């Protein structure tokens, strides 16, 4: 089997990305207006960093970041959800080839595609993978876990959508060629 080596930049991106995801997950959530339901800002960042660095970085930033957050908060990770976060990072990262950020342009069309795609991925992840895992491992009643899953799909899509889009647009607009600027 041919295994592609992780570049040093990817290694560092996973490291720093994990640190940020961890921090956001632990400390920065926004009340959604519905009691006991918060919007987890870390998914917006995960969307951004996955588009920046691709699926492998997205996978491990999600996986490591969510594990570390669970370890420090609850003592042990809730593995089904941790793996799902990794899946979200991986799946969104696949879009990197389509949305090339380095050349400084991200048009309306690409943003629409990013958002449709991320909603789809969040639905697959939170309404399907995570709750099915909970049913298999913990034998929890399906109506409970699927309802939780649907709520997470919605809140996490909002985070990935709004925060992710703002970050993408902002990053792309910092990549303007210096030669194109004139003093006025």
Partner 1 sequence: MNSNLFGYDHNDTWVHRLTGTSKLIFFILVSIIAMISYDYRFIFLVLLLSIFAFKQSQIKWSQIKFVVKLIVVFAVLNLVMVFVFSPNHGAALYGTRHVLINLGYFTITKEQLFYELNLGLKYLVTVPISLIFLITTNPSEFSSSLNKIGVSYRLSYSLSLSLRYIPDVQNDFKEISLAQQARGYEISKKGKLFSRLKGTTQILIPLILSSLDKIQTISQAMELRRFGKNKHRTWYMNRKFTKKDYGTILLSLFIVVIGILFMKMDGGRFYNPFV
Partner 2 sequence: MTKTMIEFKNVTFRYNAQAEPTLKNINLQINEGEKVLVVGPSGSGKSTLGNLINGVIPENFRGDLSGEIYIDGENAKDMSIFDTSLKVGTLLQNSNDQFVGLTVAEDIAFGMENDCFDNQTMQTKVNQWSKKLSINNLLKQAPNSLSGGQKQRTGLAGLLVDDAPILLLDEPLAALDPMAGSESIQLLQELHNELKNTIIIIEHRLEESLTKDVDKIILMNDGEIVGIYNPAELLKQNILNQYGIREPLYIEALKSIGIDLNKLHDIDSVEAVDGPGVADRIEQVSAKAKSISKYNASADILSIKKLNFAYDKKVIFNNLNVDIQKGDMISLVGKNGVGKTTLSKLIVGFLQPDAGEITFNGDNLLNKSIKERADDIGYIMQDPDKMISKVMIYDEVALGLKLRHYPKEQIKEKVDHALKVCNLYPFRHWPISALSYGQKKRLTIASMLVLSPKLLILDEPTAGQDYYHYTEIMNFLSQLNQEQGLTMIFITHDMHLMAEYSTRTLVIGDQTILRDNTPEKVLDDEALLAKANLKRTSLSILAKRFNVNYNDFSNYLISKERDNQHE
Enumerate binding residues for partner 2 (CB under 8 A): 170, 173-179, 181, 183-184
Neighbours of 52 (CB within 10 A): 19
**Residue 11 CB, nearest approach to partner 2 (Å):** 10
DSSP letter string, 101-149: -TTS---HHHHHHHHHHHHHHHIIIIIIIHHHHHHHHH---HHHHHHHH
The one of partner 2, partner 1, none whose footprint includes residue 176, by CB under 5 to 8 A per kind, is partner 2
Nearer to partner 2, 20 or 135 (CB): 20
Q: Give me the residues that bind partner 1 (CB under 8 A), please.
A: 5-20, 22-24, 27-28, 30-33, 39, 41, 44-45, 48, 52, 60, 64-65, 68, 71-77, 79, 137-141, 143-144, 147, 158-159, 162-163, 166-167, 170-171, 174
**Residue 34 CB, nearest approach to partner 1 (Å):** 10
Burial class (CB in 10 A: 0-12, 13-18, 19+), 152: buried
Nearer to partner 2, 38 or 173 (CB): 173
Nearer to partner 2, 11 or 150 (CB): 11
Which residues touch 135 (CB under 8 Å, ≥6 apart)? 142, 145
For residues 127 and 104, give the distance between their C-alpha atoms in angstroms, rounded to a whole number. Answer: 34
Nearer to partner 2, 99 or 154 (CB): 99
């Amino acid at each position: 089997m041919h295994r592609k080596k992780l570049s040093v930049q990817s290694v560092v991106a996973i490291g720093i990305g994990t640190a940020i995801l961890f921090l956001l997950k632990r400390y920065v959530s926004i009340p959604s207006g519905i009691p006991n339901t918060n919007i987890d800002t870390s998914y917006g960042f995960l969307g951004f960093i996955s588009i920046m660095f691709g699926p492998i970085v997205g996978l491990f930033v999600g996986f490591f970041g969510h594990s570390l957050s669970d370890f420090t908060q609850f003592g042990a990770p809730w593995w089904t959800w941790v793996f799902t976060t990794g899946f979200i990072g991986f799946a969104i990262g696949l879009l990197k080839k389509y949305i090339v950020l380095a050349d400084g342009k991200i048009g309306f069309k690409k943003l629409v595609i990013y958002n449709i795609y991320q909603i789809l991925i969040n639905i697959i992840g939170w309404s399907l993978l995570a709750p099915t895992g909970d049913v298999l491992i913990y034998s929890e009643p399906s109506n409970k876990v699927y309802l939780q899953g649907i709520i997470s799909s919605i809140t996490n899509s909002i985070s990935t959508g709004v925060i992710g889009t703002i970050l993408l647009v902002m990053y792309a607009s910092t990549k303007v060629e210096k030669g194109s600027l004139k003093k006025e």
